[in-house]
């Protein structure tokens, strides 16, 4: 995986296998849209700011986090 994760309009879950910090969700947004990221890598940095994600969160292997959109930014 790279710093940007892209999902199609009907998808809600992404499996993250790499170790790069996710800073951008490249997908259509609307108020209340949810995206769940499941981190399977052993040494992942989690999510961070710098793109359209407004929070940082460290993760461990096999952890899932759900982000919600306000129509522009993910929290």
Mean pLDDT by 10 residues, the chain (75 residues): 85 91 93 95 86 94 95 96
pLDDT at 1 (0 to 100)? 55
Query: Model-level pTM greater than 0.85?
Result: yes
The CA distance from 12 to 43, in Å, is 23
Q: Is the dihedral of CA 27, 52, 12, 43 positive or negative?
A: positive
């Amino acid at each position: 995986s790279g710093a940007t994760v892209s999902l199609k309009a009907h998808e809600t879950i992404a499996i993250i296998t790499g170790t790069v910090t996710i800073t951008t969700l490249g997908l259509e947004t609307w108020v209340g849209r949810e995206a769940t990221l499941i981190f399977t890598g052993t040494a992942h940095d989690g999510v961070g700011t710098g793109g359209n994600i407004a929070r940082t969160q460290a993760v461990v292997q096999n952890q899932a986090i759900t982000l919600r959109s306000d129509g522009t930014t993910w929290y």
